[in-house]
Amino acid sequence: MFYPIFFSLFTLILLWFLFKLFSTSRKNQPPSPPGLPIIGNLHQLSSLLHHSLHSLAQKYGPLMFLKFGSVPTVVVSSADGASLIMKIHDLIFSNRPFSSTTSKLLYNMKDISVAPYGEYWRQLKSICVLQLLSNQKGSFISQYKGTGNVDYDAED
């Protein structure tokens, strides 16, 4: 009675492992320690994150691919690699991760905090800078500046 269920479950798991084994998406990725199916590489991290990342970097090199749960992450642990990513390839790595939850909750990714990098985000940023740094807003904020209840210049 339970044999067809177990057989189909075993077949699905076997097909999933074969797909992961022969998929071509891993060919251009940096080296990676082996991870578990659901939690990824979270089991290899300790409470002192910098120590565990340092030991992984000594074993797998200064550029590693880790999965934190289902989130793929590239870890760079050398100064040269970090400057290369932050200065030369900054446009490739500047996007925020997309999820359907943030898309539905935050106005279809139109909010400045979650909008993908591009022309729309640059326009939002310039509008925010203009509004925050305008003379009218500055005079409005300066009215309330220094009106706290704490007197720091109290005499002894």
Query: Does residue 4 fall inside a structural domain?
Result: no
pLDDT single digits (tens) 20-33: 777 756 667 889 89
* Section 7-16 average pLDDT: 86
Do 74 and 103 fall within a single domain? Answer: no
Cβ distance 54 to 87 under 8 Å? Answer: no
Residue 117 has pLDDT above 60, yes or no: yes
Q: Could you tell me the two tokens for 37?
A: 């199916």
Predicted local confidence at residue 100, as pLDDT: 83
Measured between alpha carbons, how far is 62 from 31 in angstroms, rounded to an integer? 10
Query: Does residue 50 fall inside a structural domain?
Result: yes
Predicted local confidence at residue 70, as pLDDT: 82
Query: Does residue 22 fall inside a structural domain?
Result: no
Do 74 and 35 fall within a single domain? Answer: yes
Query: Does residue 10 fall inside a structural domain?
Result: no
Query: Does residue 116 fall inside a structural domain?
Result: yes
Overall number of domains in the chain: 2
Do 72 and 43 fall within a single domain? Answer: yes
Q: Which range has the worst mean pLDDT, 18-32, 107-121, 130-144? A: 130-144
User: What are the backbone dihedrals phi and psi of residue 64, each rounded to the nearest 5 degrees, phi first?
Assistant: -130, 155
Query: Does residue 6 fall inside a structural domain?
Result: no
| 91-97 contacts at long range (C-beta below 8 A, 24 or more positions apart) | 91/117, 97/71
* Domain of residue 69, residue span: 31-79
* Section 123-131 average pLDDT: 89
Residue 122 has pLDDT above 60, yes or no: yes
Query: Does residue 8 fall inside a structural domain?
Result: no
Query: Does residue 105 fall inside a structural domain?
Result: yes
Predicted local confidence at residue 20, as pLDDT: 75
pLDDT single digits (tens) 35-76: 888 898 999 998 899 999 999 999 999 999 999 988 888 999
